[in-house]
A and B are shown apart, each in its own frame.
Chain A
């Protein structure tokens, strides 16, 4: 089939138009760069922040306060945090986030103060889109990237992808620097806003030579009303949970908060009771999180009177931690011309072995986006765009033309059966992980023959499936490599702690490798 090809030149290409990608685009465009954002869906509604409400790690520069906040966070990071990166994102977020007031309508609190760090997702991402456009960035919506392009000397030269809307066809962006801001991987669970987050950037980065870190920290599950996507957590801080016989479930404290629900759900339905929610919070909820109330209303549930069934949705590396190992203080990916921002990067430097939740992850997304953009801009000033020199594709899996009969949906289900099983993920053992590895390897081997038609949608999907499967393999291999329990990674068969603290790094595409790197040996 002949397809139309659209060619663009840019100083900086940003792949992904969510929270991190938008801040990167704004920063680079304000710095004078010609910036193109290639977004799989719609910049402004795509990504997990758009449907949620990110706070941001927010510490004013008062004497001692930041040092104290960072010391607390370092302790929580269980040896895998980096004080310098923490200081960097606290400072950057505090200085930069208030700039969004040009496009976001802050509402003062009851004391008349503006809380700059707390933004509602749909309005925030709409504002980021508008701010990026106002700064001069060019946004390609509905334009999933398929692979990175590389110069003969190894430097990244841009990317190519497809357009899903309009005339369709292929696009190529040649750029002097490329920022991956594609988000984490939720393994296509029903996580709110997470369906586009299939690990594409992880696959593209590894194909280009980057290394991953912390992929074992991917066991994270959030409560939702049964069968829904509504993974907003605030209201569940008042929750009590019951089994089908009306017995109250014990709720332990700790990083594996919801493991008790995973166990209870293996015995039967679990019901949530929110009757402990204060009256004023009930009244305010529609204006705090409008989507939470509308989901209940449409299901005919009064959440403060009725006990309603819940399920768990997997968050994978999104509220987990792992991703591309940040190689330096410029948010470089360890590959010339390639930078990482937001959840595609490992957030171990700022959160260590535990989840960064919404606040630290949002501060990381903003700050890594800005830092990557400044470094990208500096690189373009040194080396230029190099748009006229030849560049080749780096991608493999899922890009070949289909010629087999393997059922793509079956591979996706097999990946999900491993990665979205709360029991398998919360109670990992050498035996369960080895079995998962073998099944995922089988899926990977079947991939190139995934039988899909060559439309732009189908080509993007085939590549997404490759990324999902690759991400599952890296997560599983990393979980096998860390033989003790640490933070989000729990080994039911843990023998002894890894001392001194070490990162599990991983890479490879067809053949996956892992290694242990003592903490402190990174940027």
Chain B
């Protein structure tokens, strides 16, 4: 579930508020959005794709809250991984990060033939 909106990175753009398909955030005037309905989070990670500041962190556990230490997550290098690996925004021109989704059917075929 969504665990962190990192205040030092957040610009208050509210992109996450609108992007979240489960409406878990509430906007806060002059501040980072609040995680208002954490239990509604569906752990789809898509909010992270829409956060250009990489200020969000979703923990993969969908069953219960897993409180995270913001400083430790900052230091982990895990912030922004989804957006980067997907080649979004400023990563769009990076050859190494190009969308290779088209390989999926080939991978399935190789597994079947193995």
Report whether B101 and A165 are in contact in the complex, using a CB–CB cutoff of 8 Å: no
Report whether B62 and A107 are in contact in the complex, using a CB–CB cutoff of 8 Å: no
**In the complex, A192 has a CB within 8 A of chain B:** yes
Report whether A51 and B44 are in contact in the complex, using a CB–CB cutoff of 8 Å: yes
Report whether B44 and A193 are in contact in the complex, using a CB–CB cutoff of 8 Å: yes
**In the complex, B74 has a CB within 8 A of chain A:** no
**In the complex, A351 has a CB within 8 A of chain B:** no
Among A280-288, A318-326, A489-497, the stretch in contact with B: A280-288
A51-B44, A107-B102, A299-B60 as given contacts; A234 in contact with B18, CB under 8 Å: no
Residues of A within 8 A of B46 (CB): 45, 50-51, 122, 193
Interface of A is mostly: loop
Residues of B within 8 A of A503 (CB): none
**In the complex, A381 has a CB within 8 A of chain B:** no
Tell me the complex Cα distance, A196–B44, Å: 12
Interface residues of B in 1-42 (CB under 8 A from A): 17-23, 37, 40, 42
Tell me the complex Cα distance, A288–B100, Å: 5
Interface residues of A in 257-298 (CB under 8 A from B): 276, 278, 281, 284, 286-291, 293-295, 297-298
Among A61-69, A203-211, A222-230, A332-340, the stretch in contact with B: A222-230
Residues of B within 8 A of A317 (CB): none
Residues of A within 8 A of B86 (CB): 120, 122-123, 290
Residues of A within 8 A of B44 (CB): 45, 50-51, 192-193, 229
Chain B positions 82 through 97: 1 when the CB is less than 8 Å from some CB of chain A, otherwise 0: 1001110000000011
Residues of B within 8 A of A287 (CB): 85, 87, 96-101
Nearest residue in A to B87 (C-beta to C-beta)? Answer: A287
A118-B105, A230-B60 as given contacts; A293 in contact with B23, CB under 8 Å: no
Residues of A within 8 A of B52 (CB): none
Report whether B78 and A298 are in contact in the complex, using a CB–CB cutoff of 8 Å: yes
Report whether A45 and B107 are in contact in the complex, using a CB–CB cutoff of 8 Å: no
Nearest residue in B to A125 (C-beta to C-beta)? Answer: B46
Tell me the complex Cα distance, A50–B102, Å: 16
Report whether B20 and A41 are in contact in the complex, using a CB–CB cutoff of 8 Å: yes
A41-B23, A165-B18 as given contacts; A118 in contact with B62, CB under 8 Å: no
Report whether A457 and B23 are in contact in the complex, using a CB–CB cutoff of 8 Å: yes
Nearest residue in B to A232 (C-beta to C-beta)? Answer: B104
**In the complex, A142 has a CB within 8 A of chain B:** yes
A141-B18, A196-B22, A286-B85 as given contacts; A237 in contact with B62, CB under 8 Å: no
**In the complex, B72 has a CB within 8 A of chain A:** no
Q: Which of A119, A193, A281, A289 contacts B42 (CB 8 A)?
A: A193
Tell me the complex Cα distance, A438–B27, Å: 44
Report whether B103 and A237 are in contact in the complex, using a CB–CB cutoff of 8 Å: no
Q: Which of A41, A164, A190 contacts B63 (CB 8 A)?
A: A190
**In the complex, B114 has a CB within 8 A of chain A:** yes
Nearest residue in A to B44 (C-beta to C-beta)? Answer: A51
Tell me the complex Cα distance, A306–B63, Å: 22
13 A-B pairs besides A120-B101, A123-B86, A193-B46 with CB distance below 8 A are A40-B21, A55-B104, A107-B98, A118-B101, A141-B18, A227-B62, A229-B43, A237-B112, A290-B86, A291-B45, A294-B78, A294-B85, A457-B37
**A residues whose Cβ falls under 8 Å from a Cβ of B:** 40-42, 44-47, 50-51, 53, 55, 105, 107, 109, 115, 118-120, 122-123, 141-142, 164-165, 190, 192-196, 225, 227-230, 234, 237-238, 276, 278, 281, 284, 286-291, 293-295, 297-299, 457
Question: Which 8 A-B residue pairs are closest in the complex by CB-CB distance?
Answer: A41-B21, A237-B111, A195-B42, A290-B85, A46-B21, A120-B101, A287-B100, A190-B62
18 A-B pairs (CB sep. < 8 Å):
A45-B46, A50-B21, A105-B99, A107-B100, A109-B103, A192-B42, A192-B43, A193-B42, A195-B40, A196-B21, A228-B43, A228-B61, A229-B62, A237-B108, A289-B101, A291-B45, A293-B85, A294-B82
